[in-house]
């Protein structure tokens, strides 16, 4: 069981599921809320292609390197971030990712 919305997405619960499967135990999904899909559905961003990144690395250099890699993905990007790291993550996204309006993302949804 997980208490993180749709369980096992961007949390270490996959290890528990893997172990249960390897032990021959049944694993059953119970539909629940999905922050990723709920946000995508109401964001006004293209939904035909999207890329779920999950959490960015916590250290600045690794975070910026990963964001630089994400610039090559021609799709709506979905990221998770913790409250305490949100400011630094948004700043790095704005500086490294920059405007994506030329890639089909409306200007109103660019990183701050």
Q: Is 104 found in the same domain as 63?
A: yes
For the chain, the domain total comes to 2
pLDDT exceeding 90 applies to what percent of the chain?
44
pLDDT tens column, 59-109: 999 999 999 999 999 999 999 998 999 999 999 999 998 887 644 444 444
pLDDT tens column, 46-57: 889 999 998 999
Q: Is 40 found in the same domain as 27?
A: no
Mean pLDDT of 3-25: 76
Q: Can you give the residue range of the structural domain that contains 82?
A: 34-109
For residues 23 and 27, the model is more confident at 23
Q: Is 52 found in the same domain as 80?
A: yes
Q: Is 103 found in the same domain as 57?
A: yes
Contacts of 99 (CB under 8 A, 6+ apart): 107, 110
What is the spatial distance between Cα 9 and Cα 51, in angstroms, rounded to a whole number?
A: 13
Chain position carrying tokens 């779920």: 52
């Amino acid at each position: 069981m997980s208490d993180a919305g749709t369980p096992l997405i961007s949390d270490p619960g996959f290890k528990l599921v893997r172990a249960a499967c390897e032990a021959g135990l049944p694993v059953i999904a119970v539909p629940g809320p999905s922050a990723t899909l709920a946000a995508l559905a109401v964001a006004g961003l293209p939904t035909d292609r999207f890329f779920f990144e999950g959490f960015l690395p916590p250290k600045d250099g690794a975070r910026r390197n990963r964001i630089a890699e994400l610039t090559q993905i021609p799709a709506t990007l979905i990221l998770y971030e913790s409250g305490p790291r949100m400011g630094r993550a948004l700043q790095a996204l704005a500086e490294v990712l920059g405007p994506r309006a030329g890639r089909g993302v409306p200007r109103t949804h660019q990183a701050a």
